[in-house]
Amino acid sequence: MAYARLAKENMVPVRILEGQKTQISRTMHSMEYDPVHDELVVNSPLTQSILTFKGGSGGEEPPVRVISGPKTQIQGTDYDGNDKMAMDTVNGEIYIGVATSGGPGKGVVLVFDRTANGDVAPKRILGGPNTKFAFPTPKGQGFPHMAVDPVRDLLIVSSRGALLIFDRTASGDATPKAVIAGPKTLLGGGGGLVKVNPENGMVVSSCAQGSICAWNINEPGDVAPRFKIPVEKITGINFSGPTLNPMYKEVIVTSSSRNRIATFYWPEIFDKP
Protein backbone atom coordinates (compact mmCIF):
# COMPACT_ATOMS: atom_id res chain seq x y z
CA MET A 1 0.00 0.00 0.00
CA ALA A 2 1.16 3.53 -0.76
CA TYR A 3 0.07 6.49 1.36
CA ALA A 4 0.57 10.22 1.10
CA ARG A 5 3.58 11.27 3.22
CA LEU A 6 1.40 13.37 5.53
CA ALA A 7 -1.34 10.73 5.84
CA LYS A 8 -2.62 10.13 9.36
CA GLU A 9 -5.34 8.33 11.32
CA ASN A 10 -7.76 6.51 8.99
CA MET A 11 -6.75 7.95 5.63
CA VAL A 12 -7.04 5.53 2.72
CA PRO A 13 -4.02 4.52 0.61
CA VAL A 14 -3.48 6.26 -2.69
CA ARG A 15 -2.46 3.01 -4.35
CA ILE A 16 -2.53 -0.74 -3.56
CA LEU A 17 -0.40 -3.37 -5.27
CA GLU A 18 -1.85 -6.85 -4.71
CA GLY A 19 -3.14 -9.99 -6.36
CA GLN A 20 -1.91 -13.27 -7.80
CA LYS A 21 -0.21 -11.72 -10.83
CA THR A 22 2.07 -9.63 -8.60
CA GLN A 23 3.59 -12.81 -7.07
CA ILE A 24 3.84 -10.94 -3.74
CA SER A 25 3.65 -13.32 -0.75
CA ARG A 26 3.21 -12.92 2.98
CA THR A 27 6.14 -12.58 5.44
CA MET A 28 8.13 -10.26 3.20
CA HIS A 29 9.70 -7.91 5.74
CA SER A 30 11.48 -5.32 3.63
CA MET A 31 11.30 -3.48 0.33
CA GLU A 32 13.34 -0.83 -1.44
CA TYR A 33 12.48 2.05 -3.75
CA ASP A 34 14.96 3.01 -6.46
CA PRO A 35 14.44 6.73 -7.18
CA VAL A 36 17.00 6.68 -9.99
CA HIS A 37 14.98 4.24 -12.11
CA ASP A 38 11.58 4.71 -10.41
CA GLU A 39 11.30 1.06 -9.43
CA LEU A 40 10.07 -0.81 -6.36
CA VAL A 41 11.96 -3.96 -5.36
CA VAL A 42 10.31 -6.53 -3.09
CA ASN A 43 11.38 -10.01 -2.02
CA SER A 44 8.81 -12.81 -2.02
CA PRO A 45 9.82 -15.42 0.60
CA LEU A 46 7.22 -18.06 -0.20
CA THR A 47 8.08 -18.02 -3.92
CA GLN A 48 11.80 -17.62 -3.14
CA SER A 49 12.20 -14.73 -5.54
CA ILE A 50 12.98 -11.02 -5.89
CA LEU A 51 10.35 -8.92 -7.68
CA THR A 52 10.85 -5.55 -9.39
CA PHE A 53 7.87 -3.32 -10.22
CA LYS A 54 7.44 0.03 -11.90
CA GLY A 55 7.37 2.78 -9.30
CA GLY A 56 3.74 3.66 -9.93
CA SER A 57 2.45 0.09 -10.04
CA GLY A 58 -0.98 -0.61 -8.61
CA GLY A 59 -3.69 -3.22 -8.68
CA GLU A 60 -2.79 -6.68 -9.94
CA GLU A 61 0.14 -5.50 -12.02
CA PRO A 62 2.88 -8.08 -12.70
CA PRO A 63 6.55 -7.35 -11.98
CA VAL A 64 8.79 -6.15 -14.79
CA ARG A 65 11.57 -8.48 -13.63
CA VAL A 66 11.70 -11.61 -11.45
CA ILE A 67 14.86 -13.20 -10.03
CA SER A 68 13.95 -16.80 -9.24
CA GLY A 69 15.13 -20.35 -9.82
CA PRO A 70 17.76 -22.87 -8.65
CA LYS A 71 20.74 -20.92 -10.05
CA THR A 72 19.88 -17.93 -7.86
CA GLN A 73 20.43 -20.00 -4.67
CA ILE A 74 17.54 -18.12 -3.03
CA GLN A 75 16.16 -20.63 -0.57
CA GLY A 76 14.65 -20.98 2.87
CA THR A 77 11.21 -20.56 4.36
CA ASP A 78 9.38 -17.53 5.68
CA TYR A 79 11.11 -17.69 9.07
CA ASP A 80 14.57 -19.09 8.36
CA GLY A 81 15.63 -17.25 5.24
CA ASN A 82 15.09 -14.70 2.47
CA ASP A 83 12.49 -12.49 4.18
CA LYS A 84 14.60 -9.31 3.98
CA MET A 85 16.50 -7.63 1.14
CA ALA A 86 18.41 -4.42 0.49
CA MET A 87 19.42 -2.36 -2.52
CA ASP A 88 22.34 -0.22 -3.58
CA THR A 89 20.86 2.26 -6.02
CA VAL A 90 24.24 3.88 -6.74
CA ASN A 91 26.02 0.70 -7.86
CA GLY A 92 22.88 -1.06 -9.11
CA GLU A 93 22.90 -4.12 -6.86
CA ILE A 94 20.33 -6.12 -4.89
CA TYR A 95 21.24 -7.98 -1.68
CA ILE A 96 19.35 -10.83 -0.04
CA GLY A 97 20.30 -13.08 2.88
CA VAL A 98 19.39 -16.77 2.76
CA ALA A 99 19.72 -19.75 5.05
CA THR A 100 22.03 -22.57 4.03
CA SER A 101 21.97 -26.26 4.85
CA GLY A 102 24.72 -25.99 7.45
CA GLY A 103 22.22 -25.83 10.32
CA PRO A 104 21.33 -23.04 12.76
CA GLY A 105 23.52 -19.99 12.48
CA LYS A 106 24.47 -20.67 8.87
CA GLY A 107 23.66 -18.39 6.00
CA VAL A 108 25.01 -16.27 3.17
CA VAL A 109 24.36 -12.92 1.51
CA LEU A 110 23.66 -13.13 -2.22
CA VAL A 111 24.29 -10.14 -4.50
CA PHE A 112 22.57 -9.63 -7.87
CA ASP A 113 22.71 -6.98 -10.56
CA ARG A 114 19.74 -4.63 -10.44
CA THR A 115 18.74 -5.66 -13.97
CA ALA A 116 19.09 -9.42 -13.37
CA ASN A 117 16.07 -11.38 -14.55
CA GLY A 118 15.09 -15.02 -14.47
CA ASP A 119 17.12 -17.95 -13.16
CA VAL A 120 20.50 -16.20 -12.86
CA ALA A 121 23.44 -16.87 -10.58
CA PRO A 122 24.47 -14.23 -8.02
CA LYS A 123 27.43 -12.03 -8.98
CA ARG A 124 28.86 -12.36 -5.44
CA ILE A 125 28.26 -14.58 -2.41
CA LEU A 126 29.37 -13.56 1.10
CA GLY A 127 29.40 -16.26 3.75
CA GLY A 128 31.52 -18.52 5.93
CA PRO A 129 32.80 -18.76 9.51
CA ASN A 130 35.08 -15.72 9.22
CA THR A 131 32.13 -13.46 8.39
CA LYS A 132 30.79 -13.96 11.94
CA PHE A 133 27.30 -14.40 10.51
CA ALA A 134 24.98 -15.83 13.16
CA PHE A 135 21.76 -16.42 11.33
CA PRO A 136 19.05 -17.39 10.61
CA THR A 137 17.64 -15.99 13.81
CA PRO A 138 15.26 -18.02 15.98
CA LYS A 139 11.86 -18.78 14.46
CA GLY A 140 9.65 -15.73 14.39
CA GLN A 141 12.48 -13.18 14.22
CA GLY A 142 13.10 -13.51 10.51
CA PHE A 143 16.39 -13.08 8.71
CA PRO A 144 19.01 -10.41 9.46
CA HIS A 145 18.97 -7.29 7.34
CA MET A 146 21.60 -5.47 5.29
CA ALA A 147 22.30 -1.90 4.22
CA VAL A 148 24.82 -0.38 1.81
CA ASP A 149 26.83 2.80 2.29
CA PRO A 150 27.87 3.67 -1.28
CA VAL A 151 29.83 6.74 -0.14
CA ARG A 152 32.24 4.71 2.03
CA ASP A 153 31.79 1.57 -0.11
CA LEU A 154 30.61 -0.49 2.87
CA LEU A 155 28.06 -3.24 3.53
CA ILE A 156 26.45 -3.46 6.98
CA VAL A 157 24.86 -6.75 8.07
CA SER A 158 22.71 -7.01 11.19
CA SER A 159 23.37 -10.35 12.88
CA ARG A 160 22.21 -11.27 16.40
CA GLY A 161 23.21 -8.27 18.45
CA ALA A 162 25.97 -7.08 16.13
CA LEU A 163 26.38 -4.81 13.14
CA LEU A 164 29.02 -6.38 10.91
CA ILE A 165 30.75 -3.97 8.54
CA PHE A 166 32.36 -5.26 5.32
CA ASP A 167 33.83 -3.78 2.18
CA ARG A 168 30.89 -3.45 -0.20
CA THR A 169 32.40 -5.87 -2.71
CA ALA A 170 33.48 -8.45 -0.10
CA SER A 171 32.81 -12.04 -1.14
CA GLY A 172 33.54 -15.54 0.04
CA ASP A 173 34.55 -16.14 3.65
CA ALA A 174 35.60 -12.53 4.31
CA THR A 175 36.27 -11.08 7.75
CA PRO A 176 34.39 -7.92 8.79
CA LYS A 177 36.60 -4.84 8.72
CA ALA A 178 34.73 -3.49 11.76
CA VAL A 179 32.00 -4.56 14.20
CA ILE A 180 29.54 -2.58 16.33
CA ALA A 181 28.57 -4.88 19.21
CA GLY A 182 28.51 -5.16 23.00
CA PRO A 183 26.33 -4.16 25.97
CA LYS A 184 26.91 -0.42 25.53
CA THR A 185 25.48 -0.51 22.00
CA LEU A 186 22.02 -1.62 23.26
CA LEU A 187 21.72 -3.91 20.24
CA GLY A 188 19.36 -6.81 20.83
CA GLY A 189 19.65 -10.51 20.09
CA GLY A 190 17.77 -10.53 16.81
CA GLY A 191 18.56 -9.26 13.35
CA GLY A 192 16.46 -6.12 12.99
CA LEU A 193 16.17 -3.90 9.96
CA VAL A 194 19.17 -1.63 9.52
CA LYS A 195 19.49 1.56 7.45
CA VAL A 196 22.40 3.91 6.84
CA ASN A 197 22.53 7.59 5.96
CA PRO A 198 25.55 7.79 3.62
CA GLU A 199 25.77 11.58 3.96
CA ASN A 200 27.07 11.41 7.53
CA GLY A 201 27.61 7.69 8.21
CA MET A 202 24.82 7.25 10.76
CA VAL A 203 23.60 3.64 11.04
CA VAL A 204 20.05 3.21 12.33
CA SER A 205 18.46 0.04 13.73
CA SER A 206 16.20 -1.22 16.49
CA CYS A 207 17.74 -1.51 19.95
CA ALA A 208 16.84 -2.36 23.55
CA GLN A 209 13.57 -1.42 25.26
CA GLY A 210 11.62 -0.90 22.06
CA SER A 211 13.80 1.94 20.81
CA ILE A 212 15.51 3.04 17.61
CA CYS A 213 19.20 3.79 17.94
CA ALA A 214 21.78 5.47 15.72
CA TRP A 215 25.52 4.82 15.72
CA ASN A 216 28.38 6.37 13.77
CA ILE A 217 29.78 3.90 11.25
CA ASN A 218 33.24 5.40 11.79
CA GLU A 219 33.14 4.56 15.52
CA PRO A 220 32.89 0.74 15.80
CA GLY A 221 33.23 -1.41 18.90
CA ASP A 222 31.20 -1.53 22.10
CA VAL A 223 29.98 2.07 21.88
CA ALA A 224 26.80 3.70 23.10
CA PRO A 225 24.44 4.97 20.39
CA ARG A 226 24.80 8.60 19.45
CA PHE A 227 21.01 9.06 19.44
CA LYS A 228 17.94 7.09 20.57
CA ILE A 229 14.16 7.35 20.24
CA PRO A 230 12.12 5.27 22.77
CA VAL A 231 9.45 4.39 20.20
CA GLU A 232 7.51 1.88 22.28
CA LYS A 233 7.42 4.20 25.31
CA ILE A 234 6.17 7.11 23.20
CA THR A 235 3.66 5.28 20.99
CA GLY A 236 2.88 2.04 22.82
CA ILE A 237 3.50 0.01 19.67
CA ASN A 238 5.81 -2.92 19.05
CA PHE A 239 7.43 -1.75 15.85
CA SER A 240 9.52 -2.98 12.96
CA GLY A 241 11.62 -0.86 10.67
CA PRO A 242 13.03 1.72 10.33
CA THR A 243 12.90 3.46 6.97
CA LEU A 244 14.69 6.76 6.35
CA ASN A 245 13.30 9.75 4.47
CA PRO A 246 16.34 12.04 4.08
CA MET A 247 14.48 14.74 2.14
CA TYR A 248 12.33 15.56 5.17
CA LYS A 249 14.75 14.24 7.85
CA GLU A 250 12.23 11.62 8.95
CA VAL A 251 12.36 8.07 10.29
CA ILE A 252 9.37 5.80 9.67
CA VAL A 253 8.46 2.61 11.54
CA THR A 254 5.55 0.19 11.18
CA SER A 255 3.63 -2.02 13.57
CA SER A 256 1.96 -5.14 12.18
CA SER A 257 0.40 -5.96 15.54
CA ARG A 258 -1.31 -2.55 15.80
CA ASN A 259 -1.59 -1.81 12.06
CA ARG A 260 0.10 1.55 12.42
CA ILE A 261 2.78 3.63 10.75
CA ALA A 262 4.67 6.12 12.93
CA THR A 263 6.83 8.95 11.55
CA PHE A 264 9.44 10.81 13.62
CA TYR A 265 11.27 14.00 12.73
CA TRP A 266 14.92 13.14 13.57
CA PRO A 267 17.23 15.80 12.10
CA GLU A 268 20.23 14.72 14.20
CA ILE A 269 20.83 11.59 12.12
CA PHE A 270 20.73 13.54 8.86
CA ASP A 271 22.74 16.63 9.79
CA LYS A 272 26.30 16.75 8.55
CA PRO A 273 28.95 16.19 11.26
* CA distances in angstroms from 71 to 51, 74, 122, 168, 198, listed in the order given: 16, 8, 8, 22, 32
Domain presence at residue 70: yes
Structural domain including 113 reads: 20-269
User: Residue 125's pLDDT is what?
Assistant: 95
Q: Is residue 11 part of a domain?
A: no
Establish if 13 belongs to a structural domain.
Answer: no
Q: Would you say residue 1 lies in a domain?
A: no
Q: What is the pLDDT of residue 113?
A: 96
Q: What are phi and psi of 94, to 5 degrees?
A: -120, 135
Backbone angles phi, psi at 269, to 5 degrees: -85, -5
| Residues of the chain falling short of pLDDT 50 | 78, 140-141
Query: Which CATH number covers residue 186?
Result: 2.130.10.10
CB burial string 41-80: b at 16+ within 10 A, e below: bbbbbebbbbbbbeeebeeeeebeebbbeeebbbbbebbb
At 70 the pLDDT is 93
Q: Give bridge partners of residue 159 from the DSSP assignment.
A: none
User: How far apart, in Å, are the Cα atoms of 206 and each of 9, 40, 74, 107, 242?
Assistant: 24, 24, 26, 21, 8
Q: Looking at the 3D structure of the chain, how many domains does it have? A: 1
pLDDT at 15: 61
pLDDT of residue 191: 52
pTM: 0.88
Residue 140's pLDDT is what?
A: 44
Q: Are 158 and 109 in contact (CB under 8 A)?
A: no
> Could you read off the pLDDT of 127-181 as tens digits, one per residue?
988 998 876 555 544 566 899 999 999 999 988 889 999 999 999 999 999 999 9
**Looking at the domain assignment, is residue 183 inside a domain?**
yes
Query: What is the model's pLDDT at position 21?
Result: 75
Residue 22's nearest CA partner among 12, 47, 30 is 47
Structural domain includes residue 5: no
The answer to the question of residue 2 being in a domain is no
For residue 59, the number of C-alpha atoms closer than 13 Å in the C-beta half-sphere is 1
Residue 92 lies in a domain: yes
pLDDT score recorded for residue 60: 79
Round to whole Å and give the CA distance between 24 and 45. Answer: 9
The whole-number pLDDT of residue 157 equals: 93
